[in-house]
Chain A
Amino acid sequence: MSEREASGAGALDGARYEIVVGLEVHCELRTRTKLFCGCPNSFGDEPNTNICPVCLGLPGSLPVLNRQAVEYAMRIGEALHCQVRPSIFHRKNYFYPDMPKDYQVSQYDEPINVEGWLELPAGKRIGITRAHMEEDTGKSTHMGGAGRIGDATHSLVDYNRAGVPLVEIVSEPDIRSADEARAYVSELRAILVATGASDGKMEEGSLRVDANVSVRPAHSATFGTRCEIKNMNSLRSLGRAIDYEAARQVDVLQAGGRVVQETRHWNEDEGRTSSMRSKEEAYDYRYFPEPDLVPLVPDEAWRESARCALPPMPGERRRALAEAAGTDPASVALLVELDLDGLVVEAVAAGADARIALNRAANEVAADLEGARRLSPASFAKVVSMEAAAKLTATQAKQVLAALLAGESDDPEAIAARRGFEAMDTTALEIVIDEVIAANPEPWERFKGGDPKVAGLFVGQVMKRTKGKADGKAVTSILRERAGGG
């Protein structure tokens, strides 16, 4: 098989091929205890301290399902618009030293959540096939050799993570680019955090993403052969891995070859994927219903309470913000992501100018998230209103906002007064502008003739004469008025 050179992994021949991606996201649930026992579910403790007979799979031990984990799984299902239904657990059988029972308890053909969707900020809907519950494995550290189990001299296993509850969210193959894949994971992460089910920490492994990648000729109706890519631990490596893998598959096809269905490992340092095991070598998991657990049939009251426990999801918040403050998609997405949308929506409700509120929040407030926690919607609304009423110039408003964020005071008027900010009234400003026009007859003719280059000269002169107290926008607007009227 021809392996693509890492350095040669360029852009896909977009005119001729289309990327098709489906993602499998494993999300650790933030329950207090593990899925089937009372051991603490906590990250970073001394190895093998959060263990008991049940999560060690000792002979004779039996699992008891954690109610909170089911609650979180139902919330995830509701947030992803899934059908939340009665479900059962299966055993997935294969030998691996970090799996204490040599089977994983997981949901198979009757999962708790099916057939949902997630809407990307850009508006596209990605189908959710299923979001099922399962237990996590322990963690092996392979000593000696290249750090892989095959060539290690010995291995150490930490079972603290064994039995930690997971929800695996499987998307439909609806994703068409690395950018879309990143947007999907980032939106899914925001949803999972909003449900309270996850801390969303990719770097601690709370969220783990596998990608099924295939390519097909543009406009083809059938899917190509897919490869499953593992070991991407950031959004950036997810994007790189998909681009690399798609380009590799196109190379194979263009060379007249066939893509082999297999599992491939993403190597972050080398920037390439390599084969882990082929379809023929794939495990036969011998799934069968877990006889130690009974069917999970949440009653309607419980499902209703899971629905009620959900705060507004990021998509709804973006819609609410856009409705309140205008549709600048980038700012809207950013504000929701930074949890600043409430500030703007409340300020607008209190009468603040929507456009200015959105602009100041997306720039000045977003730049100081620490300070943003001190900023009350009322003070924010006030400073926005002062700017809108031209009581403060834009520059002055930014300074007042900075003082609010720094915690100097929570009264914008007091801050403005202390600094001696008082915006010039329009009449005074008009006098200064007329003086500047009179002093620059030749450039004024060019301005009137529509030469944009001279606008800066007039604004600069006015600012100089007013010692910066004039509002730049007001100056521009009066200049236009004068030019049009002349």
Chain B
Amino acid sequence: MSGGGALAIAGAVRSGERSARDVVEEHLRVIEAAEGDIHAFNLVLADEARAAADEVDRRVAAGEDPGPLAGVPVALKDNLCTRGIPTTCSSRILEGWRPPYDATVVERLRAAGAVAIGKTNLDEFAMGSSTENSAFGPTRNPRDPSRVPGGSSGGSAAAVAAGFAPLALGSDTGGSIRQPAALCGVVGVKPTYGGVSRYGLIAFASSLDQIGPFAATVAEAAVLLEVIGGHDARDSTSIPQPAPAVSAVLDEGVDGLRVGVVRELMDGIDGDVAAHVSRAADALSAAGAKVEEVSVPACVYGLTAYYLIAPAECSSNLARYDGVRYGMRVDADDITAMYGATRAAGFGPEVKRRIMLGTYALSAGYYDAYYGQAQRVRTLLIRDFENAYGDFDALISPTAPTTAFAFGAKTANPMAMYMSDVCTIPSNLAGHPAMSVPFGTGDDGLPVGVQVMADALAEPTMFRVAAALEEAAA
């Protein structure tokens, strides 16, 4: 592991005790040593990171404020646009494309003094739960290289777990931050929908996608969320409010908070994982929270609704990869054949499966039975959560049904893979914040994550519960 977490690094760089360049070189050495085994990155930005670190050092030397994350290396999921730097979504279809602009979160990281150290691997276009759907090969779980890191943000979770970077950004459409965080034993946060700008995040399912932090600790994740969050005029769905102040509430404890354990999300869960969640509930109780079981009935329909809404939006969002303007093109006799040849060669099987599902769900005559019905389930789910939040300040559940599984264990059966997200999907459908906190290891020696959920914009409450769990797990 490299020297110190994100907050220690930023403190040392800001005070001039350590140079940002030194921090970057140290992390590049760690990457050099272990990346061959892990494959967290599609691209390591060694030269760019050095130049960015030098700029931070110049600001420090000039007496300017270098920002709250001065000199902290951050790994970026490779579906976040970086100006002039290849951004692939781990897909062949974006081969050779370099965005002419930075995502809003990338701009905000730079302004905060953070240093982008690499673009991390993912399931192609963020569709998957194991990072096995990457066109560039899978990422291995640093806790056990024979296991998957989860997905789709497996590269970002692995980068933090392996010490390649203290912080990383991922995107979460149905659990793509929280599930790999749980499987790799790190903290992962999906903010309230609209809490972090999606400008520059390559869309999978626009009404569900949110960018969020990975970190080793709750406190580091809190600072990263404060840096990337807050209103952005370039995203019409961005909430017109500043980022929630979460760092300041971490030591407030949970005394008097009402925490519900979601009954429906404990069904069909691996016994060992469920036992960890029960212990987490006991720990919160011991810390002064009032913990009870609660029912959120519509949760059981979440997975089905998700697998109509997400593919429907994806079928439209991914139409633009047609070989006309950028990325891969496979020439053919006429334009229709060119579209077909390009998309057949450029997309992997899971992406094609979802495009077909979504195209079907939106077809004339089927729209109401599929997409329309799924949207009604979404409304129902929001209502059920509203009822629960009438009685509870936060909810907990397992993050994932199992600990990290072996490569190939679920690739033959898409439904088994989809089940990996059964606990995380409801928060995406509702637009609510949720995060995964490591809570010990299972009988197999692999990390278990506990999910903390809260009402829209209730990140401060969610972080208080997460901090209490982290303390109890230590």
Please report A residues at the B interface, Cβ cutoff 8 Å: 53, 56-65, 91, 93, 95, 97, 100-103, 149-150, 155, 157, 284, 286-288, 291-294
Contact = CB atoms under 8 A, between A and B. Distances in A.
Interface stretch (B127-135, B253-261, B363-371, B432-440): B363-371
A57 B203 CA distance: 11
A56 B205 CA distance: 19
Given A288-B316, A292-B206, A58 B100 contact: yes
B23 to A, nearest CB: 28
Interface of B: 79-81, 87, 89, 94, 97, 99-101, 103, 198-203, 205-207, 233-237, 312-313, 315-316, 319-320, 322, 324-326, 334-336, 339, 359, 362-364, 367, 371
Contacts of B320: 57, 59, 100-102
Contacts of B198: 62
A60 B203 contact: yes
Contacts of A63: 236
Contacts of A287: 362, 367
Name, among A56, A97, A157, the residue most crowded by chain B CB atoms within 10 Å (CB to CB).
A97
Given A60-B103, A62-B235, A93 B335 contact: no
Contacts of B235: 62, 64
Given A95-B322, A102-B320, A284-B363, A149 B99 contact: no
Contacts of B316: 91, 93, 103, 286, 288
A291 B207 contact: yes
A60 B234 contact: no
A288 B237 contact: no
A64 B81 contact: no
Contacts of A149: 335
25 contacts: A56-B325, A59-B87, A59-B203, A60-B87, A60-B199, A60-B201, A62-B199, A64-B235, A93-B315, A93-B316, A95-B336, A102-B319, A102-B322, A103-B319, A150-B334, A284-B363, A284-B364, A286-B362, A286-B364, A288-B362, A291-B205, A292-B203, A292-B206, A292-B237, A293-B236
Contacts of B89: 59
Contact of B324 (A64, A157, A284, A291): A157
Nearest to A102: B319
**Nearest 10 A-B pairs (CB), nearest first?**
A102-B319, A286-B362, A291-B207, A291-B206, A59-B202, A60-B81, A60-B200, A60-B202, A97-B324, A284-B364
Contacts of A103: 316, 319
A97 B338 CA distance: 11
The binding surface of chain A is classed by DSSP as: loop
Given A53-B100, A57-B320, A60-B200, A288 B236 contact: no
Contacts of B233: 64
A150 B337 CA distance: 11
Given A62-B234, A292-B206, 14 more contacts: A53-B101, A59-B99, A60-B80, A60-B99, A62-B235, A64-B233, A64-B234, A97-B335, A101-B319, A149-B335, A150-B334, A286-B363, A288-B367, A292-B237
A301 B199 CA distance: 31
Contacts of B202: 59-60
A287 B199 CA distance: 23
Contacts of B362: 93, 286-288
Contacts of B312: 288
A485 B339 CA distance: 92
Contact of B359 (A58, A59, A286, A291): A286
Given A101-B319, A288-B362, A59 B81 contact: yes
Contacts of B103: 60
A113 B166 CA distance: 53
A466 to B, nearest CB: 78
A90 to B, nearest CB: 10
A465 B283 CA distance: 122
A59 B103 CA distance: 11
A275 B401 CA distance: 57
A473 to B, nearest CB: 68
Contacts of A97: 322, 324, 335
Contact of B236 (A53, A62, A100, A101): A62
A149 B338 CA distance: 13
Contacts of B207: 291
A107 to B, nearest CB: 15
Nearest to B324: A97
A465 B311 CA distance: 94
A58 B316 CA distance: 14
A341 to B, nearest CB: 43
B371 A288 contact: yes
Name, among A58, A102, A291, the residue most crowded by chain B CB atoms within 10 Å (CB to CB).
A291
A86 to B, nearest CB: 16
A319 B359 CA distance: 53
B204 to A, nearest CB: 11
Name, among B101, B103, B324, the residue most crowded by chain A CB atoms within 10 Å (CB to CB).
B324
A426 B217 CA distance: 109
Contacts of B94: 59
Contacts of B97: 59
B311 to A, nearest CB: 12
A62 B234 CA distance: 7
A63 B237 CA distance: 10
Contacts of B326: 58
A288 B312 CA distance: 9
A95 B318 CA distance: 11
Contacts of A100: 320, 325
Given A60-B103, A101-B319, A291 B201 contact: no
A65 B236 contact: yes
A149 B81 CA distance: 33
Contacts of B100: 53, 58
B326 to A, nearest CB: 7
Contact of A64 (B236, B315, B335): B236
Contacts of A101: 319-320
